[in-house]
Amino acid sequence: MIELRHLRTLVALRDAGSLVEAAERVHLTQSALSHQIKDLEERLGTALFVRKTRPVEFTRAGQRLLSLAEQVLPLVRMAERDVARLIGHEPGRLHMAIECHSCFQWLMPAIDRFRDHWPEVEIDIPGGHHFAPLPALAREQLDLVITADPQPLAGVYYEPLFRYEGLLAVARQHRLADRPYVTPQDLAEETLITYPVEHARLDVFTQFLDPAGVRPREIRTAELTVMMMQLVASGRGVCALPNWALTEYLERGYVKAVGLGESGMWSTLYAAIRDESREQPWMEDFLRTARETSFAVLEGIKPA
């Protein structure tokens, strides 16, 4: 009567807070998800949650099944890992590069969880790259690259992790601070603070400024997000960052955030791996762990 997919659906509904977002997380249409839940409720003879509540309010029956899910799903996943080991897969290597300065906020917890489950996999994040990460992945110098800039390379597969919105951080007293969004022309007289990477790898240029033919008055770089926030808060410039990277600074009232364009500037973050790695059990588990951890610790992201 109760299947694993039902338990996963209820967990997604609890974590997402709405049917729409839960459907995205389990890769179903909202109609299909509603039908699945209704079918389960009819089998059980009781409602599992109160309709039109946000966040979702579960009934006592729904809470009992959530408790079951919290016990069963981790055991199922552990068994899947154990079976993968029993059938004799070679210990893996996971050397990765990160083309995303603000990704460590969710990636480090994901790596910690993964290491607990797969201690035999060799994990490394080599520093000081003197080569392009994606071609290095194709050459087997790396095993995974976190990137928002997929390039067509033979033998490389891009697994979408999540979608995120880029926002413009400005000082609280800045002339743009109370705008719902800015246009590219609004940045023509601004100092834009960026990470020290090529402009072709920054969404604010490729998706926002370059298509409009606009250049900021000045471009300044900073190595760390906290340094960028110090400069922005002091009125020394503005910067574009993923929404999750700004959360703590917005909550503290340190800076303000403004949308980039009327429709917003949305991008997708990918994990790039080689085609032959896709079927490796430990790689499948790392990708799943990375996705689950990102949704657990980041605000404002959406399923890809």
How confident is the model over 100-114, as pLDDT tens digits? Answer: 777 888 899 999 999
In whole angstroms, give the CA distance from residue 187 to residue 176. Answer: 10
Are 225 and 109 in a shared domain? yes
Are 38 and 155 in a shared domain? no
Are 249 and 177 in a shared domain? yes
Out of 41, 70, 86, pick the residue that ends a domain: 86
Task: Say if CB 228 and CB 160 are below 8 A apart.
Answer: no
**Reported pTM:** 0.74
Give the contacts of 210 (CB within 8 A, at least 6 positions apart): 199
Peptide bond before 150: cis, by omega within 30 degrees of 0?
no
Are 128 and 186 in a shared domain? yes
What residue spans of 87-161 are helical by DSSP H? 104-117, 133-138
If you ran DSSP here, which 8-state letter would residue 5 be given? H
Are 246 and 104 in a shared domain? yes
Is it the case that residue 129 has pLDDT exceeding 60?
A: no
pLDDT > 70: what percent of the chain? 96
Is it the case that residue 119 has pLDDT exceeding 90?
A: no
Most confident of 17-21, 195-199, 257-261: 257-261
Out of 62, 86, 110, pick the residue that ends a domain: 86
Is it the case that residue 243 has pLDDT exceeding 60?
A: yes
How many domains does the chain divide into? 2
For residues 131-147, give the mean pLDDT.
90
From the number of C-beta atoms within 10 Å of its C-beta (0-12, 13-18, 19+), residue 73 rates as middle
**SS3 category, 104:** helix
Is it the case that residue 81 has pLDDT exceeding 80?
A: no
Are 139 and 105 in a shared domain? yes
Are 136 and 243 in a shared domain? yes
For residues 204-214, give the mean pLDDT.
95
**What is the tens place of the pLDDT at every residue in 271-285?**
999 999 988 888 999
Task: Say if CB 204 and CB 192 are below 8 A apart.
Answer: yes
What residue spans of 145-280 are helical by DSSP H? 203, 225-233, 243-251
Q: Which residue has the higher pLDDT, 53 or 275?
A: 275
Are 297 and 236 in a shared domain? yes
CATH of the domain at 77: 1.10.10.10
Q: Pairing relation of β-strands 49-50 and 93-98?
A: unpaired
The pLDDT, as a whole number, for residue 77 is: 83
In whole angstroms, give the CA distance from residue 19 to residue 22. Answer: 5
Are 57 and 36 in a shared domain? yes
**Host domain of residue 17:** 4-86
Are 178 and 78 in a shared domain? no
Out of 52, 86, 120, pick the residue that ends a domain: 86
Are 115 and 249 in a shared domain? yes
Are 47 and 140 in a shared domain? no
CATH of the domain at 163: 3.40.190.290
Distances (CA, A) of 288 to 30, 174, 175, 198, 281: 22, 41, 42, 30, 11
Task: Say if CB 269 and CB 148 are below 8 A apart.
Answer: yes
